[in-house]
Structure 1
Amino acid sequence: MTQLLVESASSGPAEPRMRRIGVSDLRVFPLAMSGNVFGWTAGSETTESILDAYAAAGGNFIDTADSYAAGRSEIMIGNWMRDRRNRAEMVVATKIGKNADNLGLRARTITRAVNASLERLQTSHIDLLYLHIDDADVAFDETLLAVDELIRVGKVRYFGGSDHTGNRLIEARIASALIGVAPMVALQNQYHLLHRTEYEGDLAHVVDRQGLGFMPRFALASGFLTGKYRTRADLALSSRGHEASRYLSRRGLRVLAALDTVAAAHGTSVATIALAWLLTKPRVVAPVASASRPEQVAELVASATVRLSRQQVTELDRVSAR
């Protein structure tokens, strides 16, 4: 079970510890830097500055997808690793299945998508490959055999699922055992203080039973859990406000108020505490969060060193419960 970052009483920052992804030998910083804005709202210079700030803070886990900005996110990350000569120090995760040129998870599509990602990333291998969709139109046998071949030739080290249900994870594990191929080691699904039931039910049980590493996506609820959206006027000020609007409710404001209290006690930001809460949960390895500016990186990576008291975790659990 992933060690919980909780103490009986509030204390000062601790040194971040690398966390192991499932049964793999991948050890990562407890905050994955998302590349979902690279090539979209963040240009080349901003992307490089964000990644520089993340690496300077000890970060080594970069999360992207072949569909982010139609592949430009991977290109920018690849250029940065080439220029910094730090590929060996980074754990690179990317996702396939949604790129317009390689939709779905047919065997030939998987192979083509991975080769394209390797070229854009300018690397010989992907550390963690996610199936970005659960393609029910393709038998797991076909998908798993294709991924296993990529693992055997060294183009992929490990793989996992994204937005898969507990039942589908069980089906995949059974299929991988029957045909004798590598199983999933990780899962990335939505999970945060305002979206708890999907993970905390049967899915968390399956993740635990299979020993998967869990990476919460949308960890800051489309920016709502940064605390910058508290009124309808706040939503109107941002181009991404419409994405956070679903959380502007009595429950959402109640959660922000509780986060304000805990953040004040630690002398840190609301976003830091929201991410630190995730790191107290079983099997959570590294929340996935994005920064649109380099100065935002500090409050994201600070979540790896904040130790919440049990009372604080309990209160955040209580106010965020439906």
Structure 2
Amino acid sequence: MPTVLIPDAGRRLLPDVAPRHDIHPQYHGLGADTIAAAARESLLRLGTDSIDLYYAHFDDPQTPLEETATAFDLLVRQGLVRAIGLSNYTPQRIEEWFAIARREGLSLPVALEPHYNLVHRADVESGLGSLAESEELAVFPYFSLASGFLTGKYHSAADVSGVDREGMLSEVVTDDGFAVVKQLSAIAAKHDVQPATVALAWLRQRPSVSAPIASARTVDQLPALMESVSLTLGAEDMATLTKVSAPFA
């Protein structure tokens, strides 16, 4: 299995948990010294010689982007990292990273990890997606199930009240959001699968998406995630979901 890590500065601890600036007490930002030290410590903790994909997980506006890009390139040249990924960067900053890398002959990023799902489409569809396509970046969306909202377990605002992720769900607990869940449930029933399976299948079939990221809290939740790999939605189902989720595009 590939070893996939993200820098300790601003890292997310679980794939489907809200991005947070969980700053390592020893490593702050994306300066060259921090990147080098954090990568080597990660390698020691894992007991491995190299990391397949290493993410710059949050932009660090306090550090010149050239310094960050050069530090990541050095990890590749040293054989400590095989490939570079970016997450939570604006299209403008990604374009700047590529411009610097091409000008200086540095390693180019190969992956992008954006926030993307049926009820959060704008980031990717208004800029990141086309950029990923033009730069041939593999896209691995996080929050693929919108903090559990797209699993179909919430049917009203009252269902969300008091839950751990209430704050994260506030923007989707709307009539438009529940309209998406209703269609997900209908299509899921037709295919004899769970709504989460359909939500992930829709995302997997979107342009530029290589694979969605989702997490399970219990073993019982795994089948719905795994079945999404083999479920291929037809054009009608894809169009229905794309249309009902248009308010979030």
TM-score normalised by length of structure 1: 0.70
- 1:238 positional shift: 3.3
The one-letter amino acid paired with 2:155 is: R
Secondary structure of the structure 2 residue equivalent to 1:128: strand
Q: In the TM superposition, what are the counterparts of 1:70-81 in structure 2 within 5 Å?
A: none
Higher relative contact order by CA 8 Å / sep ≥ 6: 1 or 2? 1
Which residue in the other structure is 2:231 paired with? 306
Which residue in the other structure is 1:271 paired with? 196
- 1:174 positional shift: 0.8
Q: In the TM superposition, what are the counterparts of 1:1-322 in structure 2 within 5 Å?
A: 60=1, 65=6, 67=8, 98-236=23-161, 238-322=163-247
Distance 2:177 2:48 in 1: 42
Q: 1:83-137 deviations in whole A, cap 9, x for unaligned? A: xxxxxxxxxxxxx994342121100000011112112222221110010111122
The one-letter amino acid paired with 1:317 is: T
Change (3 A) 1:284 1:62: farther
Change (3 A) 1:223 1:118: same
Greater strand share, structure number: 1
- 1:161 positional shift: 0.6
Change (3 A) 1:275 1:62: farther
Distance 2:111 2:152 in 1: 29
Distance 1:251 1:155 in 2: 46
Q: Answer whether contact 2:8 2:38 (CA < 8 A) is retained.
A: no
What runs of 5+ residues in structure 2 fail to find an aligned partner?
A: 15-20
Change (3 A) 1:187 1:259: same
- 1:246 positional shift: 2.7
Count of aligned positions: 241
Which residue in the other structure is 1:18 paired with? none
TM-score normalised by length of structure 2: 0.89
Secondary structure of the structure 2 residue equivalent to 1:247: coil
Which residue in the other structure is 1:20 paired with? none
Q: 1:211-264 deviations in whole A, cap 9, x for unaligned? A: 000111111111111111222332246323442233111001100011011101
Q: 1:165-207 deviations in whole A, cap 9, x for unaligned? A: 1111111111001111100001111000011111101221111
Q: 1:15-56 deviations in whole A, cap 9, x for unaligned? A: xxxxxxxxxxxxxxxxxxxxxxxxxxxxxxxxxxxxxxxxxx
- 1:140 positional shift: 2.0
Secondary structure of the structure 1 residue equivalent to 2:150: helix
Change (3 A) 1:102 1:275: same
Q: Among the aligned pairs, what percent are the same residue?
A: 36
Distance 1:98 1:206 in 2: 29
Moved more, 229-238 or 125-134: 229-238
